[in-house]
Each structure stands twice: as structure tokens, then as C-alpha cells.
Structure 1
Amino acid sequence: MPAVTVDDLTVLPRLATPGLGDTVRPVVSVTSAPQGYEGEGFPVRRAFAGVDLAQLDPFVHLDQMGEVEYAPGEPKGTPWHPHRGFETVTYMIDGVMDHQDSQGGGGSITNGDTQWMTAGSGLLHIETPPEWLVAKGGLFHGLQLWVNLPRDQKWAQPRYQDLRSSQLGLVATADAGALVRIIAGEVGGQSGPGSTHTPMAMLHATLAPGARLDVPWRADFNALVYVLSGNGHVGLDQRPLKTGQLAVLGAGDFVTLGADARQEGRHPSMEVVVLGGRPIREPVAWAGPFVMNTKAEVMAAFEDFQKGRMGQIPAVHGAPTDLVEG
């Protein structure tokens, strides 16, 4: 799991630990992500399955893509499909993914890179492994997060942010036992490169066995902890948390979690993603690739897609040209 690594964590800025008057966020629930398949057949864990959307707000969906070791000829992606009304955030931990959209955005992301696509008023896009990776095979692991847009931003002009791993904010815990990569938002005085319509923070942390992670967290944000790999615990009551589980936290000033002293042999460290944002608190009507405020708006989105109003597939050599609705 390369993403971004640092040889000497002691040279990084340090996160504060909870002080007098600070409140560690309690655990509201822990759920296990079911496994399934997305796109043309790559394996995913549905991290938010079974969790009330009100507890996730402003987020609506999170897939852990892989971790999978593909043989030659096996790597898979998605066909062309539409989106409207939200943002997709694709964070690559291992492997390579190419992106293309009908607005001319796109690029290739690899270890530690992020593609941040604001679908806004609507567009078509495709995500596929490059041809050389399909031929060669290899390790593939990443995340895709869907961030809702408030009503007044759902018709924003689509845009694309290409966030390189070198741009991530990097901090360590007070004892240098954990590395924190900040993808978006401000955490402990350090910021990530992602520019967001909805105020939020997103980070990926690697905890050494037995390490503790204390993250100062905005009181007006919700807080979610998802375990990519490893075993540990969350909250002051040290609620157990393991690979593929999501913890929803309550109100407070700090997110606190720790890694067990013994980790599984395949993953020597505990890898977690911490997410939070200011809830939008608007009605959500969600069907397939569209996240709107009303059912009528979703139906209009399907009609606009079917009539070609969300753009045309660009001529790209070797790219699939079949359209799907989600």
C-alpha cells in the first residue's frame, strides 16, 4: 500500500492531542461493508451500506475498490456513464486509473493521486485501466467517494481537479506513530489540495502497530472512520474496528482511534480513512448516477441523458463506446 510514504515521520508537523475541555467523539455505530462488483466487474466494498443518509450527510456513497491483484488481461474499469448533482472523488492507493469525460477533463492517476470531478449540471465519463496495465496485470486498490452538492450548486459547471500525491498535506501524530495524508480540508493547521463546494475534510492515515491517532475535528462536521486494512479500535471506549468496517461518530472536537499491537501479516499497519463535512440538510433524491433534491429532478436527469443533453462521447482510440445509466 504505497500511496505516499515518508521515511522519517519526525520531520513532519505534529497533530495536537486532546486537551482540557476537548471532547473525543463517541461511537454511534459500527457497520461492516458488504462486498460486490462495480463497472465491468471490479470488486468493491460498499462502505456506507446500511447507514442512514442523515448520518453520512454531505456524503452519499463510498466504495473501496479492491484491493485485488489482477492477472494479465484481467484489469477492469467502467463503461461510459452519466452523473449529475454531486462530486466524485477517486483516490488511488495502488495501481493506475485513466479518466475521461465529455467536458474534456481527465488524466491518469496512480499511487496517492486523486481525481476530483464535479459533475454539477451533468456530464458523461469513463474510468479504465490503461492498455499496458490490462496487458500486464498488477495490484489495484483505491477509493471512490460521492460528495453531495447543495441545491444551489447542483447546476454548477462541471469541472475536474487533478490532485497529485506531491500536493497532499502531510502530518504525523505527536509520537510519530502515524502518518496522515490530507486530501481535502484543513486538519491541525495543515491543508489538503482538494477544492470543495461543500466544506469537508478527507484524510488517509497509516498507524503503526500499537499507535494512537488523535485528529482535531471541526465541531460543525460529522465524522466517519473507515478501515481499509488492519485491526484496531475507535473512541475512548476502544470499540473494536477492523478491515471493511465503518464507524459513525457523534459530536465532539477530536477523532481518536488506535491500532492493535498485532496486525495481520499481509498488512503490517492499520490503514484508515477519516471523513467529515458540514451537513447540507436538504432532501436527497438518489437514483443510479444522479443525486438530486426531488424525484422529478432525477427523472429529468434520466431524460436529459437519454436525449444526449449531458454531452457526447469524445473520439478516443481504443475506448469503449457503450453507454450505461449507472
Structure 2
Amino acid sequence: MPAVTVENVLTLPRVTEPVATAVSRAVRSVTTAPQGFEGEGFPVRRAFAGVDLAALDPFIHMDQMGEVEYAPGEPKGTPWHPHRGFETVTYIIDGTFVHRDSQGGGGVISDGDTQWMTAGSGLLHIEVPPEELVVSGGLFHGLQLWVNLPASQKMSPPRYQDIRGGEVSLLSSPDGGALVRVIAGELDGHAGPGITHTPITVLHTTVAPGAHVRLPWDPGYNALVYVLAGKGTVGPDRRPIRMGQLAVLGAGDLIEVTADDSQESRSPSLELYVLGGRPIREPVAAYGPFVMNTRAELVQAFEDFQAGRLGTIPSEPHPGHDVL
């Protein structure tokens, strides 16, 4: 799981150790993501399945894509499809994905890169593996997160952010037991590169075997911990958690995790996607590729899509021209 790393974590800025009076967030629930298929048939774990939207707010949906070792000819993506009313955040840990959209946004993302697409008022987009990966096969692993937009911003102009892995803020826990990558928002005053409409923090944290980590957390945010790989415990009561499980935490000032002393051979560390944000607390009407506030707005979104008002599929590039 390469993502972005450093040879010596102790050379990085340290996360401040929370004060002794800080309240550790207790575990409200632990759920196991069911497995399924998305797009043209790539395997996913539905990370938020079975969790009340009120506990996830401002997040709507999250898929762990893979981890899968494709044979030649097997890599798959998604066909052209619409979105309106939210943002998609695609984080690639292993492998390569190509993004194109009807607003001209696009790019190739690979190990540790993130594409942040604000659908806003609506667009069409497609995500596919590059041709060379389809031919060769190979490892693919990533995440796609859906971030809700408040009613006042649902019809904002679409926007695309191409976040290179080398742009994320890299931090160390106080004792060097964990590497923290700040993708968006901020942690302990260290900001990530992702520009967000909704106040959120998104981290990819690697915890060494046996290490105990206490991350200061905005008390106005909710807190979610998803295990990408490995096993450990979360919360002050050290609730067990393993790959493919999501912990929803309660109120407090810090997130507390511990990696088991013994990890699987294919994943030497506990790998976590840690996220939280300020709840929007507005009605959610979601169906398929649209996330709005009311059923009438959903109907309008479908009508606008069918009428071509969310954009048109760009023509395929001609040989000799840049694909993106």
C-alpha cells in the first residue's frame, strides 16, 4: 500500500499530544461493509451500508474499490454518468484511474493522488483504467467518497481539483508510531490541499504494529474511522476493528486508535481512512447519481439530465492529441 510515504517518519512535523483533559470519542457503532460490484463490474466494499445518514452527515456514500489484482484484460471502470448536488472524492492507493468530465475537467491519478470533483449544478463524467493497465493487468485499490453540499451550494458551478500525492501534508504522531496524510481540511493546524465547500477533514493514517495514536479532533465535527487494511482497536474502550469495518464515534476532542502487535503479512500496518465534518443538518433526498434536498429537486435533476442540460459527452480525442 504505497500511497505517499517517507523513509523516516521522525523527520516530519509532529501532531501535538492532546491535553490530559481531552475527551476521547467513544465508539457508537462498528459495521462491516458488504461487498458488491460497481460500474462495469469492479469489486467494492460499501463502507457506509447500514449506517444512519444522520451519523454520517455531511458524508453520503463511500466505496472501497478493491483491493484487487487484475489479470490482463480484466481492469474495469464506469461508463459516462451524471451527478448533481454533491462532491465525489476519489483517492487512489494502488493503480491508476483516468477521469474525464463534460466540463473539461480530467486527469490521470495514481498512487496517493486524489481527484476532487464538485458536481454542483450537474455534469457528466467517466472513470476508467488507462489502456496500458487493461492490457497488463495489475493491482488496483482506492476509495470514492461522496460529500454532500448544503442547499445554498447544490447548484454551484462544477469544479475539478487534481491533487497530487506529493501535495498532501505529511505528519507524524508524537512518538513516530503513525504517519498521517492530510488530504483535505486540517489536523492540529496543518492543512491539506483539498479545497472543500463543506468543512471537513480527510486523513489516510498508517499506524505501525503496537502503536497507539491520539489525534486531536474538532469537537464540532463528527468522526468516522474506516479500516483499509490490518486490524486494531478504536476508542477509549479499545473496541476491535479490522479491514472493511467502519467505526462511528461519538462526541469528544480526540480520536484514539491502536494497531494490533501482529498484522497480516500482506499488510504490515493498520491503514485507516479517518474523516469527519461539520454536519449540514438539512433534509437529504438521494437517488442514484443525484443528492438533493427534496423529491421535486430529484425529479428536476432527472429531467435536466434527460434533456441534456447536465452536459454532453465530449467527442473522443483524435490520434496524436492529448487524451485529456
TM-score (norm 2): 0.97
Q: Deviations over 1:222-260 (max 9, x none)?
A: 000000010000011000000000000000110000100
Instruction: State the AA in 2 paired with 1:40.
Output: E
Q: In the aligned structure 2, how far is the partner of 1:17 from the partner of 1:254? A: 10
- Give the SS at the match of 1:79: strand
Q: Name the residue aligned to 1:296.
A: 296
Give the alignment of 1:13-92 within 5 angstroms: 13-92=13-92
Q: 1:287 maps to what in 2? A: 287
Q: Which residue of 2 aligns with 1:270?
A: 270
Secondary structure at the counterpart of residue 108 of structure 1: strand
Residue 100 (structure 2) pairs with residue 100 (structure 1): yes
State the one-letter code of the partner of 2:41: G
> Separation in 2 of the partners of 1:181 and 1:242?
20
The one-letter amino acid paired with 2:261 is A
- Give the % identical residues: 68
- Please provide the CA RMSD for this pair: 0.8
What SS does structure 1 have at the residue aligned with 2:305? helix
Post-superposition Cα deviations, 1:68-91, rounded to whole Å, max 9, x if no partner, equal: 000110000000000000000000
Asked if 2 retains the 8 angstrom alpha-carbon contact of 1:226 and 1:246, the reply is yes
C-alpha displacement at 1:18, in angstroms? 2.6
Displacement of 1:17 in angstroms is 2.1
What's the offset of the Cα at 1:213? 1.7
SS at the partner of 2:300? helix
Distance in 1 of aligned mates of 2:221 and 2:56: 10
Aligned equivalents of 1:192 and 1:260: distance in 2? 28
Q: Which consecutive aligned stretches of 4+ in structure 1 deviate over 6 angstroms post-superposition?
A: none
Equivalent residues in 2 for 1:311-322, closer than 5 Å = 311-317=311-317
Q: Look up the equivalent residue of 1:132 and give its one-letter code.
A: E
Are the aligned partners of 1:10 and 1:172 in contact in 2 as well (CA < 8 Å)?
yes
Please report how far the alpha carbon of residue 317 of structure 1 lies from its aligned counterpart in structure 2 after TM superposition.
Answer: 4.2
Question: In the aligned structure 2, how far is the partner of 1:21 from the partner of 1:160?
Answer: 41
CA distance in 1, matches of 2:106, 2:299: 27
Aligned to 1:240: 240
Distance in 1 between the 2:246 and 2:48 partners? 7
How far apart, in 2, do the equivalents of 1:11 and 1:189 lie?
18
SS at match of 1:134: helix
Which position in structure 2 is the counterpart of 1:210?
210
Q: Deviations over 1:167-211 (max 9, x none)?
A: 101001111011000000110121100000000000001111101
Partner-residue secondary structure (3-state), 2:162: strand
Aligned partners of 1:18 and 1:24 also within 8 Å: no
Which residue matches 2:322?
Answer: none
Show the counterpart of 1:156.
Answer: 156
Structure 2 CA distance, aligned partners of 1:266 and 1:8? Answer: 21
Unaligned runs of 5+ in 2: 319-324
Secondary structure of the residue aligned to 1:152 is helix
Superposition pairs for residues 118-129 of structure 1, below 5 Å?
118-129=118-129
Instruction: Please give the alpha-carbon distance, in whole angstroms, between the structure 2 residues aligned to 1:3 and 1:316.
Output: 31
1:16-75: per-residue Cα shift (whole Å, max 9, x none)? 223132111010000000000000000000000000000000000000000000011000
The count of aligned residue pairs is 318
Aligned AA (2:248)? V
The one-letter code sitting in structure 2 at the alignment partner of 1:108 is V
Select between 309-318 and 221-230 the one with higher mean Cα deviation: 309-318
Cα distance in 2 between the residues matched to 1:237 and 1:22 = 15
Q: Mind listing any 5+ residue stretches in structure 1 that lack a counterpart? A: 319-326
CA distance in 2, matches of 1:107, 1:20: 45
The letter of the residue matching 1:133 is L
Rounded to whole Å, the distance in 1 between the matches of 2:65 and 2:20 is: 40
